Structure 1
Amino acid sequence: MIEAYLAELDAALRGPRRAKTDLLAEARDHLVEATESYEHSGFSRQEAETAATRDFGALEDIVPGYQAELGWTQGRRTALMVLFVFAVQPFIWGIAYPRVAVTTIDSPADEVVENLGGLTILLALLMVLAYRIGMRHPAVRQRITRITGLATIVVCVLFIAFGALLTALSPDGLVLLWMITFILAPMSWTALSAWRCLATAVR
């Protein structure tokens, strides 16, 4: 009965694999401990498992709290990913690229990208801070995962679009390689994490 209960709980939850595994392991430990306690009180194994799962709670009552925790984990991971990806962009394009490029990127779009990058870094810092604040404020916890996912997807789409524009405007073929490596790949990776935020957010 415990394994059947845990299988249903597993099927109902969406989120990072490791965090989900940890939550299910904690639930299993609690149920096994409760079952053993009932057995020591004279219950049969089946009766003890029935009582343990009943005490643990119905799935419709348990799942929202567990799902919120998984969404929280995914959202915080995405916020940190955005901060890392955009924090290294000034080094990649301001220091590394000019050392190997034949020509430099010089267009109004380049300035827009730099300003948008700085704004995104600030936004990512605020999101990371919001996750720290949200640990003490349930109202923040309920909304921040979805906000993180939506904001990150918008930013990633904008940067991919501007990256394509800069590639088209530059005569240097190296720009295409760098755009794929340092814009398209990391932005797609980050957008996927953001999509998972929307999938794990409690509705």
Structure 2
Amino acid sequence: MIDEYLADLDRRLHGCGRFKADLLAEARDGLHDAADAYRAGGWPGEEAERRAVADFGPAAVVARGYQAELGMLSGVRTLWKLVIGVPAMQILWDYARILTFGDWTKLSTPTPGWYKVVAHASHGAVFVVPVVGVLALLGTRWLSRRLDGVRLSRLCGVLIAFAVGVNLASVGLLIGATGVVDVSRLFLSVPCVLLMLAWVALSVRLVVLARRSWGGYATIVA
């Protein structure tokens, strides 16, 4: 009965495989300890497992709490990628441009005024994203003592979606605007191209992680 219960719990949970495996291992240990205690009290094996499962709670109810915890663990991991990864990409790209290309005055085409506005907005967004990430990390930690896991997971998912959306919009807008002004600016040097591709890959990865986090929340409230 314990194995059947754990299999049911496994089917109901969605999230990082490592985190889910840890939660299921914790549940397995608790169930076996409870069953062993019932056996020590004189109950036969099958009845001991049945009572241990009954004490643990319905799988649907337990999965709700576990899913909220999975969502938070995944959300925190995504937030750290936002806080560290996004500004790191901008800083590395700027240094690569300075070292391998030089000053912007070397550009062969004029820079329109509207493009400067887009560039400043995009660079500003790069530093807004980690600020939102830090506030989300601190806020969820503080609110963890005041909100239940489901509402906290939902709040974390909203903040992640906002920060990831801002980052994706800024990257897409900057690359698109640069292509309109002068496509060659996207290929200033090999290191700049590689870092641009890495930044795009990171942005896509963050979208995937945000979708997983939001999907986990949807599972909780379903």
TM superposition score normalised by structure 1? 0.89
User: CA deviation digits over 1:22-74, x for unaligned, max 9?
Assistant: 11001000000011111111111101110100010011221111111001111
Give how far 1:102 is off: 6.4
Distance, in Å, in 2 between the alignment partners of 1:73 and 1:44 is 38
User: CA deviation digits over 1:59-96, x for unaligned, max 9?
Assistant: 12211111110011111111111111122134223222
**Equivalent position of 1:148 in the other structure:** 159
Distance, in Å, in 2 between the alignment partners of 1:188 and 1:38 is 50
Q: How does 1:36-75 map to 2 (within 5 A)?
A: 36-75=36-75
Q: How does 1:118-133 map to 2 (within 5 A)?
A: 118-133=127-142
Distance, in Å, in 2 between the alignment partners of 1:154 and 1:49 is 47
Q: CA 1:20–1:29 in structure 2 vs 1: closer, same or farther (change >3 Å)?
A: same
Distance, in Å, in 1 between the alignment partners of 2:76 and 2:153 is 13
Q: Is the 8 A contact 1:74 1:200 kept in 2?
A: no
Q: CA 1:89–1:167 in structure 2 vs 1: closer, same or farther (change >3 Å)?
A: same
Q: Is the 8 A contact 1:159 1:183 kept in 2?
A: no
Once structures 1 and 2 are overlaid, which stretch shifts more, 105-114 or 172-181? 172-181
Tell me whether 1:165 sits opposite 2:172 in the alignment: no
Once structures 1 and 2 are overlaid, which stretch shifts more, 56-65 or 134-143? 134-143
Distance, in Å, in 2 between the alignment partners of 1:144 and 1:129 is 12
Q: Is the 8 A contact 2:71 2:153 kept in 1?
A: no
Identity over aligned pairs, percent: 26
Q: Is the 8 A contact 1:134 1:141 kept in 2?
A: yes
**Equivalent position of 1:14 in the other structure:** 14
Give how far 1:146 is off: 2.2
User: CA deviation digits over 1:83-139, x for unaligned, max 9?
Assistant: 111221342232222211367486412211111112222111111212221321215
**Equivalent position of 1:194 in the other structure:** 210
Once structures 1 and 2 are overlaid, which stretch shifts more, 86-95 or 192-201? 86-95
Give how far 1:179 is off: 6.2
Distance, in Å, in 2 between the alignment partners of 1:94 and 1:149 is 26
Give how far 1:154 is off: 1.4
Distance, in Å, in 2 between the alignment partners of 1:142 and 1:128 is 12
Distance, in Å, in 1 between the alignment partners of 2:204 and 2:153 is 26
Report the aligned-residue RMSD: 2.1
2:198 to 182, 185, 197: 182
Give the residue type in structure 1 aligned to 2:158.
I
Q: CA 1:74–1:25 in structure 2 vs 1: closer, same or farther (change >3 Å)?
A: same
Q: Is the 8 A contact 2:136 2:159 kept in 1?
A: yes
Q: Which runs of 5+ in 2 are unaligned?
A: none
